Amino acid sequence: MGIEDHLYKSLGYYQKLPSFITKPLGFLYRSIPLSVRYGKLYSEYEDLISTSEFWSDEQIDSFTNNTLKKTLVNAYENSDYFHDLFSSVNFSPYSFTGIKDLEKIPFSDKSTIRSFKEQILSQKFSRDRLIYVTTGGTSGIPVEVYYLKGRERTRELVFMTDQWKRAGYIYGDRIARIRGTVVDQSGNNSFFRYEPVKNRLYLSTYDLYEENFPLFIEKLKQFKPHFLHTYPSAIILMAKYIIKNDVHIEGIKAVLCSSEQFYPGQRELIEKAFNCRVYSWYGHTEYSTLAGECECSSNYHIYFQYGFTELIDEMGNPVSKPGIRGEIVGTSYEMTAFPIIRYRTGDYAEWVENKCSCGRNYKLINNVVGRWQQEKIITLKNSEISLTALNMHSDIFDNVIQYQFYQKERGKVTLRIIKSVNYQKDDEKKITRSFKEKFKDLVEFNIEYIDNIPRTQRGKHKFLISELPESCNN
Ligand SMILES: [Zn+2]
């Protein structure tokens, strides 16, 4: 384990310190090599990616079979849930011979995790070695998973750094981040926060509307970011503004986009506004699939070193033909304490037939669609706040069974909540505080308690019901 995991708990205190302390402290810390900060696992994964990046199909197949087997044996031996699940279908991980065998294992999904969290969790590790993480609420049901200290987050950093390297990223480059972070924790109503350890400028997504654009642009010009890290709905209005007003922000190498698909024309617009390429990728908190674009194409290259990815149709059968949409199902090669096996993500993609000209033999997908990710709340000023921006990596929904946003008027939103038996007045306070912090006075927010949220005709939970007239949606 590196020193990073020991410091993780102190992050909240650090962020509250004044900048004359955090700046030099952060700069010093940034100069410590990543392999020291994150431990030897960092270098191990770095080596794995660099040696395997251009492997042949045979090498990849052999790696996949070995790693899958190891992953399944771990789940069987250490997780009561998977031990029982495998036994119930007479599946023995010890006699695993290849990916065809995987099909014997039943799928799991978010509701499996919610119902069997304690049984899934391996008994091998003491609680103080675990980190408890809540996934984004964009799926309608937040899900909690456990990471092992010093493992999953370290691995994620290596893979994300590799993904960004394709866009020219060098560790320490300046990144301007517009991704739903609440910037102002001091109460000073500031739109910006600089974080010296990562050399990042955080910009408030919730204040990103037309009358503030000049201020945001000025700040970007001062900071001179090498990269913008954002998602389409957060940046698109500003991109339009930049083009309309013929603004030039120099020196951005790429716009790094994740978490959302692009509407037609959005990518081109962002590229034109910032005069550089967009690089996009797909990943999630359960860490079973990671796939991203490369230097040569905008197809997503699935990292075979990270997990095993399948696409399935509505009946649960594998989708193997290109161009047919299937649900992304992932098996994570890390997640040792909390195995993620044949996990239905609720996101969709299509296989791409050919290999990429970049020379990597990675499997390719495109048209990746998150089920809930394109839905937006429209503010009083007609700006958009996507559900991705609102995602709640926190504990505010711990005592909520399910929730749904309802919008009928611009600038007003109701959060409908189904309470669990543990729900208290305090939960209401926490939820209200958290949303008011994000919506400010752009969206009037209230809570309504209900017993049941009707599903769509296809049996899915809808995360936002919007009855706004079309004209409000721009
Ligand atoms: Zn490629």
* Residues 201 and 307 both lie in one domain: yes
Q: Is residue 388 assigned to a domain?
A: no
Please list all protein residues whose beta carbon sits less than 5 angstroms from ligand 1, which is an ion. Answer: 294, 296, 356, 358
In 134-146, which positions are buried (b, 16+ CB within 10 angstroms) versus exposed (e)? bbbbbbbbbbbbb
**Rounded to whole angstroms, how far apart are CA atoms 400 and 402?**
6
* Residues 401 and 370 both lie in one domain: no
* Residues 83 and 193 both lie in one domain: yes
State phi, psi for 419 to the nearest 5 degrees: -80, 150
Q: Is residue 383 assigned to a domain?
A: no
Going by DSSP bridges, is the β-strand pair 444-449/227-230 parallel, antiparallel, or unpaired?
unpaired
Give just the sign of the alpha carbon dihedral 79, 83, 85, 91.
Answer: positive
Beta bridge partner(s), residue 326: 349
Beta bridge partner(s), residue 178: 230
**Rounded to whole angstroms, how far apart are CA atoms 35 and 158?**
10
**Rounded to whole angstroms, how far apart are CA atoms 256 and 175?**
10
**236 CA to centre of ligand 1 in angstroms:** 26
State phi, psi for 301 to the nearest 5 degrees: -90, 120
* Residues 243 and 211 both lie in one domain: yes
**354 CA to centre of ligand 1 in angstroms:** 10
Domain with 20 in it: what CATH number? 3.40.50.12780
Q: Is residue 322 assigned to a domain?
A: yes
Burial class of residue 31 (count of CB atoms within 10 Å of its CB; 0-12, 13-18, 19+): exposed
Q: Is residue 387 assigned to a domain?
A: no
Domain termination residue (choose one: 319, 339, 374): 374
**299 CA to centre of ligand 1 in angstroms:** 7
* Residues 314 and 419 both lie in one domain: no
Number of structural domains the chain divides into: 2
* Residues 370 and 398 both lie in one domain: no
First CA to last CA across the chain, in angstroms?
49
**267 CA to centre of ligand 1 in angstroms:** 18
- pLDDT tens sequence for the chain (474 residues): 666 666 666 666 776 777 777 777 777 777 777 777 888 899 999 999 999 999 999 999 999 999 999 999 999 999 999 999 999 999 999 999 999 999 999 999 988 998 999 999 998 999 999 999 887 544 456 788 999 999 999 999 999 999 999 999 998 899 999 987 777 766 666 889 888 888 999 998 878 878 899 999 999 999 999 999 998 877 887 898 899 899 999 999 999 998 667 766 788 899 999 999 999 999 988 999 999 999 999 999 999 999 999 999 989 999 999 999 899 999 999 999 999 999 999 889 999 999 999 999 999 999 887 755 557 889 998 888 877 677 655 678 778 877 888 999 999 999 999 888 889 999 999 999 988 888 888 999 999 999 887 755 444 457 788 887 654 333
SS (H, E, C) 266-321: HHHHHHHHHCCEEEEEECCCCCCCCEECCCCCCCEEECCCCEEEEEECCCCCECCC
Q: Is residue 207 assigned to a domain?
A: yes
**296 CA to centre of ligand 1 in angstroms:** 5
**Rounded to whole angstroms, how far apart are CA atoms 317 and 295?**
33
* Residues 302 and 212 both lie in one domain: yes
Q: Is residue 215 assigned to a domain?
A: yes
| pLDDT, position 1 | 60
**Beta carbons of 380 and 439 less than 8 angstroms apart:** no
Domain around 345: 1-374
**Across the chain, which distance is largest between two alpha carbons, in Å?**
65
Residue 260 is which amino acid?
A: E
Residue 74 is which amino acid?
A: N
* Residues 365 and 443 both lie in one domain: no
| pLDDT, position 394 | 62
* Residues 194 and 144 both lie in one domain: yes
| pLDDT, position 24 | 77
**Rounded to whole angstroms, how far apart are CA atoms 69 and 341?**
12
**Rounded to whole angstroms, how far apart are CA atoms 24 and 221?**
23
Domain with 419 in it: what CATH number? 3.30.300.30
* Residues 29 and 118 both lie in one domain: yes
| pLDDT, position 471 | 41
**Rounded to whole angstroms, how far apart are CA atoms 395 and 398?**
5
Q: Is residue 380 assigned to a domain?
A: no
Q: Is residue 351 assigned to a domain?
A: yes
**151 CA to centre of ligand 1 in angstroms:** 27
* Residues 355 and 469 both lie in one domain: no
**Beta carbons of 231 and 208 less than 8 angstroms apart:** no
| pLDDT, position 337 | 97
**52 CA to centre of ligand 1 in angstroms:** 14
* Residues 149 and 225 both lie in one domain: yes
Q: Quick check: helix, strand or coil at residue 335?
A: coil
Beta bridge partner(s), residue 418: 402
**198 CA to centre of ligand 1 in angstroms:** 27
Q: Quick check: helix, strand or coil at residue 387?
A: coil
Q: What pTM did the predictor assign?
A: 0.79
Going by DSSP bridges, is the β-strand pair 144-148/130-134 parallel, antiparallel, or unpaired?
antiparallel
